[in-house]
Structure 1
Amino acid sequence: MKIIVTGATGMIGEGVLMATLENPNITAVLMVNRRASPLKHPKLAELIVKDFTNLSAHSTLLTGYDGCFYCAGISSFGMGEQQYNHITFYTTIVFAKELARLNPDMVFFYLSGVYADSSENGKIMWARIKGKTENALNELSFKAVYSFRPGFIMPLKAQKNVRLIYKGLRLIYPFVFPNKTLTYEEILTALIRILIVGYDKNILEIKDLKLVAKQVEMDD
């Protein structure tokens, strides 16, 4: 399978990317970044795109993929609603629409958040916009769309883009809240299985990701 990964210079995107490179089911990975990544691997290619809303010059390079793990994004801390909406909703939807046009058989996975608000009416700004983005993606002409809402993810030892607080929490959080903690191996195992066989829900909560990953482990 051939996969596109965005957001690979961020913490979660980097972890997802590194896990894809270790997965034997994935034969080629294209990371789409706004800035270059130092990561190198035999099955990894990189496409630098300064503006995710203007992909017209890159159509050929973005064609022929089975799945996309869209992990690009930004924290809402210190941001106004209009700016956060432009980056989180508008940019994501424009990028996804072009991928759907180029790859109608693609399965699209969107990195959302645990408390994303699918009603779009809640008081928390970032949650409303994440929920709005999830809903809009479901209307696009992909083979399937899934929004995954991970909680605390155990950083990989080889990761470079890990916030200091995560380095401390990794020593405590998994033991106190094991049901709210995921590894990148669990996430990728679940997403790859869902890419191949599908799932009965579009929203993938922590319990869904753990359940699918466990099923794969039992099958093996």
Structure 2
Amino acid sequence: MFVVLFGATGMVGHGVLTALLEDPSIDGVTAISRRSSGRRHLKLREVMHQDFTRYDELDDVFAAAEATLFCLGTPSVGLSEPQYKRITQDFAVAAATAARRSNPDGLFVYISANRADSASRTMWIRVKGRAEEALTALHSRVFILRPGFIRPRRGARPATRAQRVVYTILTPFYPLIKRLYPAQFTTTDAIGRAVLAVLRAPGSVPPRLDNPLINEIATREGSRNG
């Protein structure tokens, strides 16, 4: 299977890319990004691209892929709603449009967020919810993952300095957070394994995977492979 990946340089994208590169069922990954991930692998091809609202010149890339994985995201802190919407929703819709145009039967996997709700009073939750609705209306084979608090693993780390500071502070408290809020806690490894499960057997999973189901599927995938 060949896939297109957005967000390979981010924390979640790193976890998903690691899972893809390690899995023998994945033949190739084309990462579309503004900058290189710095990773080298026989299965990885990186395409540098600047305008995430237009992909006309990449039709052949989408046509060759059986799935497009959108892990691109950004913290909402310091951004207006239009700015956050552009990255979170508009970029995703543009990618899904290009993927559907080039390969209508392909899968589109979108990494959303826990409690995403288009009617929420909280800006980032509202935008994520509207992105989910827009993608679902646009593409008939959309799968949405809604992780909660994400622990980075195996080299994954937040993209911004502010996020890295926060995660460094929280590191000693991971066991406590997981014990107190197990249904809201996951890891980049678990998200990667859940994405693989969607790719392998899309008919066996629901179109929306909330955090507990992400962990359940990831545990099952780990047992199957281990």
Cα drift, residue 169 of structure 1: 2.6
Query: Percent of pairs identical after alignment?
Result: 33
* 1:147-177, Cα deviation, whole Å (9 max, x unpaired): 1111233322333656133234333224442
Superposed CA RMSD in Å reads 2.0
Q: Secondary structure at the match of 2:26?
A: coil
What residue is the counterpart of 1:184 in the other structure? 188
More helix by share: 2
Alpha-carbon distance between aligned partners in 1 of 2:28 and 2:6, rounded to the nearest angstrom? 14
Cα drift, residue 82 of structure 1: 1.8
8 Å contact 1:3–1:28 — kept in the other structure? Answer: yes
Q: Where do residues 69-88 of structure 1 align in structure 2 (5 Å cutoff)?
A: 69-88=69-88
What residue is the counterpart of 2:29 in the other structure? 29
Q: Structure 1 residues 160, 90: closer, same or farther in 2, change over 3 A? A: closer
What residue is the counterpart of 1:49 in the other structure? 49
Q: Which amino acid aligns with 1:41?
A: H
Alpha-carbon distance between aligned partners in 2 of 1:24 and 1:174, rounded to the nearest angstrom? 32
Could you list the runs of 5+ residues in structure 1 that have no partner in the other structure? none
Q: Structure 1 residues 174, 204: closer, same or farther in 2, change over 3 A? A: farther
1:140 equivalent in alignment to 2:138: yes
Q: Secondary structure at the match of 2:138?
A: coil
Could you list the runs of 5+ residues in structure 2 that have no partner in the other structure? none
Q: Which amino acid aligns with 1:214?
A: T
Cα drift, residue 109 of structure 1: 1.0
Alpha-carbon distance between aligned partners in 2 of 1:174 and 1:194, rounded to the nearest angstrom? 28
Identify which of 108, 119, 122 aligns with 1:121.
119
What residue is the counterpart of 2:155 in the other structure? 158
What residue is the counterpart of 2:170 in the other structure? 169
8 Å contact 1:186–1:210 — kept in the other structure? Answer: yes
Q: Structure 1 residues 216, 88: closer, same or farther in 2, change over 3 A? A: closer
What's the TM-score, normalizing by structure 2?
0.86
* 1:9-43, Cα deviation, whole Å (9 max, x unpaired): 22221222122211222111111101222111111
Cα drift, residue 80 of structure 1: 1.3
1:207 equivalent in alignment to 2:204: no
What residue is the counterpart of 1:68 in the other structure? 68
1:197 equivalent in alignment to 2:197: no
8 Å contact 2:18–2:192 — kept in the other structure? Answer: no
Alpha-carbon distance between aligned partners in 2 of 1:170 and 1:16, rounded to the nearest angstrom? 21
Alpha-carbon distance between aligned partners in 2 of 1:200 and 1:17, rounded to the nearest angstrom? 21
Cα drift, residue 214 of structure 1: 2.8
